[in-house]
Structure 1
Amino acid sequence: MPRVGATARAAMPAPPPRARAKKTAAPQDRLSTRKLYFRRVKRSLKPGLWVLGAVSVLIVGGELVRSLPSVRSAPVPAPVAAHHGGFGLAALAADVGLRISKVEVVGAQTVDPALLQAAIGVQPGEPALGFSLGAVRARVEQLGPVQSATVERVLPGTLIVNITERDAFAIWQTGGAGGAPPRFVLIDKTGKVIEGQDAAAAKRREPSLLLLTGADAPQNAAALVSELKAVPALASRVSAAERVDGLRWNLILKDQALVKLPVAGEQDAINQLGALQTSMQLLDRPVEVIDLRQAGKLVVRPYPAAPPPGSAKDSHT
């Protein structure tokens, strides 16, 4: 095939340039006035929705912490009405369904129900976040029979109050001087009076409760009861104990026999009496007084013997 020279190539006409296809312009989507308005509203709502979501997280997160049992160091609150506000986060939470629907009380056996409800101060239907757990606990612990309490809020609407009551240790008789009627109150192991309790009802529940008399009897009762428990044969027969001049005890047995304990060596005297019961059943005999006030000496006074039938005394009576 013959080659074409450079001159011939130069003489050949150049091919015409290809025409570029023009792109068809897409028809413009012109938004209506209504669509533009709603788009602007949607954009303006986004920051508010983020803020509302953050607030909701803070509410739920903070409440999970506060719903744990209240700590002992919670400050003493103001009156009940000050903690039931209907504004702020509590009102917002109530609007979304966080309201008290049930109040559960655990461990309250002897507390007056009406007084307990008044101390809790929370009613079904109130905002679940509208009160302080520490405030409820402090009010409940002010009730006489309550030793301690814990308060727990379980979302969305349950309040749980756990109560530990003070154990009744003995019954203390006060008053009775100058014609005034005696008063019977319950005391705990520390000697403190348990207010708001019926001593007679407690005695029916626990017949073993000891009856005490004497101004300082409550403060010294725990030591006496501990010493008596070491000698069960005697402890089971004691119904009352009288504190004499703030120095010593008289024991009144169930058969009305009187046991006089010494000022010093109280435990030794109790042990001695227990040994006499084991060896000779002294407490089963008709004795009126057993005097142990002098160390190493025992004085027993029996009941007076009944006069023989037909005697002058018997015929006179």
Structure 2
Amino acid sequence: MGDRAHRPRAGGGIMSGRVSGLRRHLLVPAIIAALTATAAVFLLSGGAPQVAADGAAPPARIDASLGLVVQRVEIEGRENTPPEALDAAIGDPQGRAVTDIDLAAVRQRLEHISWVRRAQVARQLPDRLVIRIEERRPFALWQRQGRLHLVDREGVVLTDEDLARWRTLPLIVGDDAPGAAPTLLETLAQVPTIASEVEAAIRVAGRRWNLRLESGVLVKLPEDEQPGWGLREAVRRLAELARQERLLERSVTVIDLRLADRLVLRLPPGVRPQSAAGEQQT
């Protein structure tokens, strides 16, 4: 017969008909199962992070009559974000088909809330919308043009309301204070004896800091990055003087540490000067 491909004969008898019927009987459930699995993948993928990122709704439209409608909205990670701000960003999804929710749009609105650093929005079948937020952490109170604001480490203004609950945070003053504050506060954290005395840190000319102590003493620090004598060196020097010379217990109004080779103290009127290493009274 040469290389001709074998072809089955038509009308293969009773056994052939039974086999064909059995194949058809098994094939229909298999197709249904495959279609069901495909639909499930489309639906469940809505809850995966990559779908939450692009917000693409599954191509298959699910009729709300099947019961796949939003009945519950779960929010995870909220500590300080105002509930009314979340409500405004989420809208009113309850009663809508889960596939009708634009995940990307909800996420974008959430991330426009000052407290929210990032958000994830996911569907959870059959009837839930799950929202996870990562909040910004309060870092300092920022005084600017006579008003107080709560800011995070990046200088993002979180709120200017109900600030009494944050009164234990450092107070920083000046237009560009938030951007420079992390370096200052990290430096002060290394010398807690000085940090505990600071009432406010005042940014001067965008280059250096003054520290207002609880006692009312003003400490003038050098420029942040001044070669050989900058912020860190001056704060360490202040800690040494406080420990060795009890400088913070003395009657002074100003401690000027802007120069590496000179300590300048300003005394209240009528106070006799006391000598300390390298100091000059005015």
Q: Bin the TM-score by the shorter chain.
A: 0.7 to 0.9
Q: Percent identity?
A: 38
Instruction: Give the partner amino acid of 1:69.
Output: P
Map of 2:216 onto structure 1? 256
CA–CA separation in structure 2 for the residues paired with 1:141 and 1:166: 11
Secondary structure of the corresponding residue to residue 104 of structure 2: helix
Instruction: Give the partner amino acid of 1:68.
Output: A
CA–CA separation in structure 1 for the residues paired with 2:49 and 2:246: 55
Secondary structure of the corresponding residue to residue 258 of structure 2: coil
Map of 2:71 onto structure 1? 101
Matches within 5 A, 1:8-87: 56-70=36-50, 73-74=53-54
Please list the CA deviations of residues 181-223 of structure 1 after superposition, one character each: whole Å capped at 9, or x if unmatched.
x2222222122333xx23552xx33433222222221221111
Map of 2:238 onto structure 1? 273
Out of 116-125 and 143-152, give the one that drifted further: 116-125
CA–CA separation in structure 1 for the residues paired with 2:62 and 2:220: 68
The CA deviation at 1:123 is 2.8
Map of 2:102 onto structure 1? 132
Secondary structure of the corresponding residue to residue 61 of structure 1: helix
Map of 1:191 onto structure 2? 155
CA–CA separation in structure 1 for the residues paired with 2:190 and 2:210: 18
Out of 126-135 and 245-254, give the one that drifted further: 126-135
Give the count of matched residue pairs: 239
Map of 2:196 onto structure 1? 236
The CA deviation at 1:274 is 0.6
Structure of greater Rg: 1
Secondary structure of the corresponding residue to residue 118 of structure 1: helix
Map of 1:315 onto structure 2? none
Out of 54-63 and 230-239, give the one that drifted further: 54-63
Cα–Cα, structure 1 residues 163 and 286, in superposed 2: closer, same or farther, change >3 Å? farther
Please tell me whether residue 168 in structure 1 is matched to residue 108 in structure 2. Answer: no
One of 92, 99, 112 as aligned partner of 1:142: 112
CA–CA separation in structure 2 for the residues paired with 1:218 and 1:152: 34
CA–CA separation in structure 2 for the residues paired with 1:211 and 1:61: 52
CA–CA separation in structure 2 for the residues paired with 1:71 and 1:281: 62
Please list the CA deviations of residues 111-141 of structure 1 after superposition, one character each: whole Å capped at 9, or x if unmatched.
1211211111243222111112222212111
Map of 1:297 onto structure 2? 262
Out of 53-62 and 185-194, give the one that drifted further: 53-62
Map of 1:311 onto structure 2? none
TM-score by length of 1: 0.67
Map of 2:274 onto structure 1? none
The CA deviation at 1:52 is 7.7
CA–CA separation in structure 2 for the residues paired with 1:63 and 1:71: 10
CA–CA separation in structure 1 for the residues paired with 2:72 and 2:186: 44
Gap regions ≥5 residues in structure 2 = 1-27, 272-282
Map of 1:208 onto structure 2? 168
Secondary structure of the corresponding residue to residue 116 of structure 1: helix
